[in-house]
Amino acid sequence: MTEPRDAIRTARRVVVKIGSSSITAPQGGVDLYRLQALTGVIAKRSLQGDQVLLVSSGAIAAGMTSLGLTKRPKDLATQQAAASAGQGGLMAAYTNALKLHGLNAGQVLLTADDMHRRSHYVNASRTLEKLLELEIVPIINENDTVATDEIRFGDNDRLAALVAHLVNADALILLTDVDALYDGHPRTPGTTRIPVVSSMEEITGVDISATGSAVGTGGMVTKVAAAQLATAEGIAVLLTSAEQAVQALAGEDVGTLFLPTGRKRRARSRWLAHASSVNGRLVLDAGAVEAVVQRQTSLLPVGVTRVEGMFRSGDTVDLCDPSGAVIARGLVSYDSTELTRVVGRRLDTATASARSRGGSAVAARTVIRRDDLVVL
């Protein structure tokens, strides 16, 4: 019988995420000792022939010393300045540490837009694939210096899950300053480690609200959300402390293992379901909901009852059932103004109807092709 943690031990492509608190000091600056311990673990796995990508936080915390700060800055501009001052040194530390093992590191800084836009996403995927092919260890972080409050990931746990989708990883390892998810705040007496989570419902009552270290951002909430994102796409997730990284990668019974809850889908579907940004909503009638969800057919104008939001052809829109619940997502082949003129019409009558209603003809066509649709 296979052990659940074999999924981690045997994974060929692994995304490891390390939090700020695990590679920097509480008052700022890179903690070289702990960074080298981490690179030792990554190098061992890489030299075994597996592919490891590292998502590393810590630029802001690393840059605090250059700015003369002893606390993580709260405002965006100072965070960006700290990240700018810190990212170079952080990357240099990784480059030097991996070199000791004969490995090269490649820096990849991503913005939320790189995930939202299909062309950027595909481009990022190509870059990462090339780095892996060349046996260069990708070291990924958010491009903090150009991110604004509205368009930032904010936490690297989500970024790590999206990177795991992007490269179709077999496993995601979230390394932090606590050795596992506990059934309450770990500082509360009597709380115990949760070794395995098979479905997110199992942990709905668990208190994950307390925030963690002085330099970290999301606490446990963002880690559980990241685990949910990755496991939904068939990726096993192991959450543990940086100190237990060796045991975690060896498949030992440490940390919390989140088992895959969904099947691996096509790359395009993964992107549509989790990374693309949604620009509008189409409300469908019951027949169209059944066609899209059960029979997985393309969506035709006749099944659309309402168009909400302003979008262009090629944008992502949510599909809702008559009660407004989102049931699917897809790439729409009409602008919103065009689509408004043909909703509810059969393909053969839509063109004429559009001409009579709007003046100019709209060539009636499929609203969303089945290949451009993902059921949620």
Ligand X SMILES: N[C@@H](CCC(=O)OP(=O)(O)O)C(=O)O
CB of 272 to ligand X, least distance (A): 25
Query: In the complex with ligand X, which residue's Cβ is closer, 67 or 267?
Result: 67
The rounded Cα 317 to chain-centroid distance in angstroms is: 19
**185 contributes a contact to ligand ADP by CB under 6 A:** yes
Question: b/e per residue, 39-53, with b = 16+ CB within 10 A?
Answer: bebbbbbbeeebbbb
Query: In the complex with ligand ADP, which residue's Cβ is closer, 177 or 308?
Result: 177
| Residue among 181, 317, 328, 367 that touches ligand ADP (CB under 6 A) | 181
CB of 55 to ligand X, least distance (A): 8
**39 contributes a contact to ligand X by CB under 6 A:** no
Residue 8 and residue 205 in contact, taking contact as beta carbons nearer than 8 Å:
no
| Residue among 28, 58, 106, 301 that touches ligand X (CB under 6 A) | 58
**144 contributes a contact to ligand X by CB under 6 A:** yes
Query: How many chain residues are in contact with ligand ADP, going by CB under 6 A?
Result: 23
CB of 182 to ligand ADP, least distance (A): 4
**220 contributes a contact to ligand ADP by CB under 6 A:** yes
DSSP string, 142-154: E-TTT--GGG---
Q: How far apart are CA 276 and CA 328, in angstroms?
A: 13
**334 contributes a contact to ligand ADP by CB under 6 A:** no
CB of 244 to ligand ADP, least distance (A): 13
Please identify, among the stretches 24-32, 205-213, 274-282, 291-299, the one whose residues bind ligand ADP according to the rule CB under 6 A.
205-213
The rounded Cα 125 to chain-centroid distance in angstroms is: 13
Residue 245 and residue 35 in contact, taking contact as beta carbons nearer than 8 Å:
no
Q: How far apart are CA 10 and CA 148, in angstroms?
A: 39
Query: How many chain residues are in contact with ligand X, going by CB under 6 A?
Result: 16
* Inter-axis angle of helices 219-231 and 156-166, nearest 10: 10
Site for ligand X in 64-93 (CB under 6 A): 83
Choose from ligand X, ligand ADP, none: what does 210 bind? Cβ within 5-8 Å by kind.
Answer: ligand ADP
Token code pair at residue 356: 């009579």
Q: Is 219 annotated as a binding residue?
A: yes
**20 contributes a contact to ligand ADP by CB under 6 A:** yes
Q: How far apart are CA 64 and CA 246, in angstroms?
A: 29
Beta bridge partners of 30: 24
Count other C-beta atoms under 10 Å from residue 217's C-beta: 20
Choose from ligand ADP, ligand X, none: what does 252 bind? Cβ within 5-8 Å by kind.
Answer: none
CB of 48 to ligand ADP, least distance (A): 25
Pairing of strands 236-241, 171-176: parallel
**196 contributes a contact to ligand ADP by CB under 6 A:** no
**231 contributes a contact to ligand X by CB under 6 A:** no
Please identify, among the stretches 23-31, 83-91, 202-210, 284-292, the one whose residues bind ligand ADP according to the rule CB under 6 A.
202-210
Taking alpha carbons only, the member of 10, 293, 370, 1 closest to residue 169 is: 10
Count other C-beta atoms under 10 Å from residue 289's C-beta: 21
Q: Which residues, at least 6 apart from 106, have a Cβ–Cβ distance to it below 8 Å?
A: 131, 136, 137, 138, 139
Binding residues: 17, 57, 144, 156, 176-177, 217-223
Binding residues for ATP: 17, 176-177, 217-223
- Interface residues with ligand ADP (CB under 6 A) are 19-22, 176-178, 181-182, 184-186, 206-208, 210, 212-213, 216-220
- Interface residues with ligand X (CB under 6 A) are 19-20, 57-61, 83, 141-142, 144, 155-156, 216-218
